[in-house]
Amino acid sequence: MASRVCVTRARKRAIAALKGRPTAGPRAAPAGPLFRGRLYVVALTAKGPASTWSLAKADLATVVAYLERAVVPIAAYAGQYGPVGLSVEPAPVPLSVTLADASYSDADLQGWVDSLAGSLGLRPDAAVLFLNPPGLTNTDARESGGVGVLGYHGLARIPYSFVNVLGRGFSLADPADLYAEAVSHEIAEMTVDPQANDQNPEVCDGCGTNCLGPNAYRSYFDVAGGYLGSASTFPPGFPYAFFVSAVARPSAATDCPAPGSACAYAPPGKV
């Protein structure tokens, strides 16, 4: 996974980076508000001339079950940067789109976000998560053959996160590394940086695959959410129920890579 990254600076900078244009670094401390609201998982069905792409209901249910646990430590880590609030809608939101082929763009994705926000009456205290099924391509965030982009977050009418899932048959522990690393990375960074406008730091990059490649840090928890430890190898040498992408301490928010002491620590305080 050394060549896969989560491109999670502001959406416009993420797309610029994908196109090879240089971009400035994020701020070291927040200058704007953090996210305080509810997260909705989108059940996307994309219909093409000859194929239909979607995730199985069981996999979507696993992601929701994962997020219901993961948002607690994610909010605790993100809360080092300012007041946050993070909850999960238990029912995935269905969205059906028609495509000319097996691809779409970030502009298309933003249009779908706006459509969902309008039809559901979602305000800026809501955010949506899109999980891209295997076989379907976001042309602004390609993941192909193990080389490419795992995800990014941006802002349309409301904040959104995008993740390329890497297979099917999800589990809470995700030992095959199909979704949890990128999902937790994007949700943590969306929580700190909901406006995606370079006002707030990208808090997972320094501890993640962007800067550490296969030695990215993850924080591990038992089924009740108790912290078990953090490790830069995967899988770790101990049993666990779920993990989240490590969030850098504020003192190392813009370090690339961040030191291990800034990545491997228990969630501070309570939320």
The pLDDT assigned to 3 comes to 41
Structure confidence at residue 9 (pLDDT): 42
The gap from C-alpha 193 to its chain's centroid, in whole angstroms, comes to 12
pLDDT value of position 5: 65
User: Is 244 exposed, middle or buried, given 0-12, 13-18 or 19+ CB atoms closer than 10 A?
Assistant: buried
**Ranges of the chain with pLDDT below 70:** 1-5, 7-27, 145-147, 270-271
What pLDDT score does 74 carry? 98
Rounded to an integer, what distance in angstroms lies between the CA atom of residue 131 and that of residue 164?
6
Task: Provide the phi-psi class of 233: left if phi over 0, else alpha when psi is between -120 and 50, else beta.
Answer: beta
> Which one, of 224, 265, 223, lies nearest residue 247 by Cα?
265
Angle CA(61)–CA(62)–CA(68) in degrees, nearest 5?
90
**Sequence-ordered list of residues with C-beta below 8 angstroms from that of 177, at least 6 positions apart, any chain:** 1, 166, 234
pLDDT tens for residues 195-237? 999 889 999 999 999 999 999 999 999 999 999 999 999 999 9
pTM: 0.91
* pLDDT for res 145: 59
How far is the C-alpha of 252 from the C-alpha of 249, rounded, in Å? Answer: 6
- Coil/strand/helix, residue 203: coil
What does the pLDDT read at residue 198? 81
How much is the pLDDT for 173?
A: 98
Residues of the chain by 3-state class (helix, strand, coil), percent to 5: 30, 25, 45
Domain boundaries, the chain: 4-17+32-202
pLDDT tens by residue, 125-159:
999 999 999 999 999 999 875 558 999 999 999 99
